[in-house]
Copies of this chain bind each other. A is one copy, B any other.
Amino acid sequence: MFDQFKNKLPFDEKHWNDYVGYFKRIQVPSKTTLLQEGKISKKVFFIEKGCIRVWFNNNGNDVTFQFFLEGDRVSSTESFKKNIPSIVTIETIEPCTLWVIGKKDMDKMVSEAFEIPEVREKLIDSLFDRNIHYMKHCLSFIKDTPQQRYLNLIQEKPQIVQRIPQHYIASYLGITTVHLSRIKSKLAREKK
């Protein structure tokens, strides 16, 4: 059942039995807050079913920063790692089935993983990959129009556009719902 998260876990397939007991399966309704902004993150979530968004509070109106779907790992990484208050809120969008692991267990896993050179290398690589991902995300805001960003999103994560309420997508793209609506209708018109 962990097939889904294989490449998101800091250990090798053959060690599953050692660690599987660390994880707890939970079900939560939609709009559940998994981590509140300002709190210190003590858990990491793996999504078996459902979707989640991570958002920032920008004096009152929320700014959606990332979406997560089945097979993804979700946490406020920096809060979790450094024991500092999270700057983001983590919230379910749909009813979710999640696997949860606590900080102590996760830390144990990670530190043991670090003893194995190739696993260590994989973990560090994933940090670099995250960096590259964020860089490109930034860049997209500088060089692309909102319409282009919307098209990119459709291309890269088509499920998101289908499953997720439009106002979350608009805030993710950095525009208003009205403008997103305009973009959609313009694209539909051009398609004909």
Contacts and interface: CB of A to CB of B under 8 A. Distances in A.
Interface in A128-162: 128, 130-132, 134-135, 137-139, 141-143
Contact of A127 (B127, B135, B172): B127
Copies of this subunit: 2
A63 B124 contact: no
Interface residues of A, number: 26
A65 B127 contact: no
A169 to B, nearest CB: 12
Interface stretch (A14-22, A74-82, A183-191): A74-82
A138 to B, nearest CB: 5
A124 B124 CA distance: 8
Contacts of A128: 77-78, 81-82, 127
A60 to B, nearest CB: 11
A97 interface: no
B134 A135 contact: yes
A143 B82 contact: no
Given A128-B82, A131-B77, A134-B138, A63 B171 contact: no
Nearest to A172: B142
A128 B127 CA distance: 7
Contact of A130 (B81, B131, B137, B174): B131
Interface of A: 56, 58, 63, 65, 77-78, 81-82, 124-125, 127-128, 130-132, 134-135, 137-139, 141-143, 171-172, 174
The 7 tightest CB contacts between A and B, nearest first, are A141-B141, A134-B134, A142-B174, A127-B127, A58-B143, A138-B138, A78-B132
